[in-house]
Structure 1
Amino acid sequence: MGSMSTKAKVIVLIVAVVVIMVGTIIGYRKIGGIFNPKKAEPEITTTIVSRQLQTMQDLTTAKENDYGFEEFSEGNIAHVNKKKFTMFYSYEIRAGVDLAKAEIKVHDDTRTISITLPKATLQSVSVDPDSLRFFDTESSLFNSI
């Protein structure tokens, strides 16, 4: 009978160790959840995306720097009323889209956002005033430059 009680003690001891191990694992996971809670995923709506795009305003998609020559002539009698010159200048053109006009769709089922941009338009043309140069200037008695 003495060996039966030893077997029972061993079985009870093994069961107790397993119960303690399982309890420790469950407790560790619970405590880990308290100190590192899962963050809720942010809710994305059309309004939120629209506001963010509107704060960016214009999106420049193309920029070009170039130069040009313009000839100006007025009057038809030399030395009396004829005025003429050629002007050189450099300029910058920017084209892009107005992000406030973008169409935004949030698809919750596929967890995607669709943004349709409007056609690109001319945003600005600026002439560098320091680049202006005048050539072939002709003035007259009644029509000075």
Structure 2
Amino acid sequence: MTEEQYISYFEGLAAAHTAIQHSEACPRFWVADNDEYTEVVQAVRTKLNLPCLLLDQYVDDVDDSQDNFRVNVSGGFSVLVRFEQGNSRAQRDARHQARMIALQILRRFRADCRKQAFGKGVLLSPPFTGESTPVLGGIAVGWSYGFTLSAPLSVAPDDCWDD
């Protein structure tokens, strides 16, 4: 899976989900470039409509413990929902709503993996640990899930060397 495929897939989910409905006219999808929340907080305050889907950059590692190498791609996503400041009940309700949307996205992601949407031999590995996000910008809370995809790694034979 390339980075572009990863981003496009989740952007498509954000557009298709009835609670999010991401579009260019109404942006509700964001790719986090790093682990700092400052850019996300700024986007929540100025660019993003809520609820929204926030996608973490993925990392990968190569499993070379067997002859057939595999790449393990670890990523994550969060769903953010607006809440009324100073209202703890509204904050809990928003977090619950975010969790329900995130679970729906996770279920769809899992089903698509089973249908080989990312190619033959690509597996989504449990467990899927969910956790609440911090309050962002004083107006949004959410729920996050991390995941790991395992895929066969095809590398061309050693024909890339001049020696």
- TM value normalised by structure 1: 0.22
Q: Quick check: which has more Rg, 1 or 2? A: 1
Q: Which has the higher helix share?
A: 1
Q: Which has the higher strand share?
A: 1
